[in-house]
Amino acid sequence: MAKKKSDQQDITCAFCGSPASASEVMVPSRYEGIYICSNCVEQLGDILKDYMSPAGKTSKSASGKEEKKEALSIPKPAEIKQFLDDYVIGQDAAKRFLSVAVYNHYKRLSQPSDDDVDIEKSNIIMVGPTGTGKTLLAKTIARLLDVPFTIVDATVLTQAGYVGEDIESLLTRLLQAADYDVEKAQRGIVFIDEIDKIGRKGDNPSITRDVSGEGVQQGLLKLLEGSIVNVPPQGGRKHPEQRMIPVDTKNILFICGGAFEGIERKIAQRLNSHVVGYSPNARKGVNRDNFLQYVAPQDLRSFGLIPEIIGRLPILTHLEPLDAQALRRVLTEPKNAIVRQYVKLFAMDGVKLEFTPEALDKIVEKAIEYKLGARGLRSIVETVMIDPMFEIPSTKKKKFEVTAEFVEDKLRGANFEINNA
């Protein structure tokens, strides 16, 4: 039974050694004559509360010291996809892959260090034509995440010692996104854009080194697999006297994207079909209008990616080419739709901007002709709107309507060919 302060006994706390007079209550133990003061009990309660809560679970670092794992607010895959739907039209398959991968990445970060099962990370590679939303998906996810996120371009990377940027410099941007907090950066996500541009130039060995192609792929292996990499804090080339920052990439999720222009022919050859023409041995049921939906790891190898890097990108997904209906929705539906952006620009000048349905159809028609996807829409709308954006701010107009005839006239003046079929 606990002894109160009023009970005058010559006893002390077995933990802190304070006398009974310094504590409200002295809690007895199962051993006779041994007591714990109420102050120590309260402190032990706080320690246990921190230890048992998700935010206070500890893990041991490389130095052997215990470190707290921060609690992560984990959005469910359906919530991630719903957020992506607000900004990206279509591409449901790619959204599902990305949502699950990001969700599992969060769960890996909150996994206790003493767990017997070590969950491996699943890096992703996305294949899709230009303008289908690969980079937009990555940028949109960045708005939702609580972990550092950065987008890097694979085309500027070369092997160490050659003109260009060192491969390790892509982690510099992740460090910058994390305000140079190494622990935070080691839980981040890196999106490598234009991964197809570092494909092997040919299957035949050459006496010259492929320093911007296969050489970069080989350099990326250790980053994708998970290892401790010395990163230059300011990026660029490594300097012998520069102080490096060691970064462990084990818990960094890598998402790669590329257009892989011409991979449809590789897929058609594997399926014993042809992109154009008739093949007597072609498989039945193959949708020849969209070969990308049949993309497989062996197609990436035929394109020029080495087997080692394909194995470190286990999740392969594709993005569908945008048809006329999808491009029409891209113009008006997303929260940051192109039309909404221009309406906002004109509203800042007190002008109400409107596009007729026929004008939007004409813009979509031209984008399909140039096969530039959603990026083509932006280029065409900018060409159409450049004169009104120059002239209207100097006038007293309060309303401006964009018609199909206006679009046709501006595109013809900009040397865009218009089909009047």
The pLDDT, as a whole number, for residue 216 is 84
356 inside domain:
yes
In angstroms, rounded to a whole number, what is the distance separating the alpha carbons of residues 127 and 133?
Answer: 11
Residues of the chain above pLDDT 70, percent: 81
User: 373 - beta bridge partners?
Assistant: none
Phi, psi of 254 (to 5 degrees): -110, 130
114 inside domain:
yes
- Are both 314 and 328 inside the same structural domain? no
Stretch 96-105: mean pLDDT, rounded? Answer: 89
151 inside domain:
yes
Stretch 345-361: mean pLDDT, rounded? Answer: 93
pLDDT tens across 157-208, in order?
876 545 556 788 888 889 998 898 999 898 888 999 889 888 876 555 544 4
Domain boundary among 270, 288, 318: 318
- Are both 402 and 253 inside the same structural domain? no
The pLDDT, as a whole number, for residue 59 is 41
361 inside domain:
yes
Q: How confident is the model at residue 407 (pLDDT cuts 50, 70, 90)?
A: very high
Say if CB 404 and CB 163 are below 8 A apart: no
Comparing 35-39, 112-116, 227-231, which segment has the lowest mean pLDDT? Answer: 112-116
CB atoms within 10 A of CB 294: 17
The pLDDT, as a whole number, for residue 207 is 44
- Are both 405 and 351 inside the same structural domain? yes
Q: What is the pTM of this model?
A: 0.69
The pLDDT, as a whole number, for residue 198 is 86
pLDDT tens across 255-294, in order?
999 989 888 888 888 887 555 555 554 556 677 777 888 8
The pLDDT, as a whole number, for residue 210 is 54
Q: Six-digit token pair at 118?
A: 């070590």
To the nearest 10°, report the CA torsion of 353, 358, 361, 365: -110
Comparing 2-11, 71-80, 366-375, which segment has the lowest mean pLDDT? Answer: 2-11
- Are both 194 and 283 inside the same structural domain? yes
pLDDT higher than threshold 90 for residue 344: yes
Mean pLDDT value across the chain: 80
- Are both 292 and 195 inside the same structural domain? yes
- Are both 328 and 300 inside the same structural domain? no
Number of folded domains in the chain?
3
- Are both 230 and 359 inside the same structural domain? no
In angstroms, rounded to a whole number, what is the distance separating the alpha carbons of residues 413 and 407?
Answer: 10
- Are both 253 and 210 inside the same structural domain? yes
Structural domain of 42 = 3-58
The pLDDT, as a whole number, for residue 417 is 56
The pLDDT, as a whole number, for residue 132 is 84
Say if CB 88 and CB 137 are below 8 A apart: yes
In angstroms, rounded to a whole number, what is the distance separating the alpha carbons of residues 257 and 89?
Answer: 18
369 inside domain:
yes
In angstroms, rounded to a whole number, what is the distance separating the alpha carbons of residues 323 and 336?
Answer: 20
- Are both 306 and 358 inside the same structural domain? no
64 inside domain:
no
The pLDDT, as a whole number, for residue 313 is 92
Length of the chain: 421
Nearest to 223 by CA among 120, 303, 309: 309
Across the chain, which distance is largest between two alpha carbons, in Å? 105
What burial class does residue 42 get, using C-beta atoms within 10 Å of its C-beta: 0-12 exposed, 13-18 middle, 19+ buried?
Answer: exposed
The pLDDT, as a whole number, for residue 387 is 92
418 inside domain:
no
As a whole number of Å, the CA-based R_g of the chain is: 30
In angstroms, rounded to a whole number, what is the distance separating the alpha carbons of residues 177 and 151?
Answer: 10
Domain boundary among 287, 318, 349: 318
To the nearest 10 degrees (0 to 180), the angle between helices 92-109 and 77-85 is 140
pLDDT higher than threshold 60 for residue 130: yes
228 inside domain:
yes
Domain boundary among 318, 347, 374: 318
- Are both 21 and 105 inside the same structural domain? no
CATH code (residue 175)? 3.40.50.300
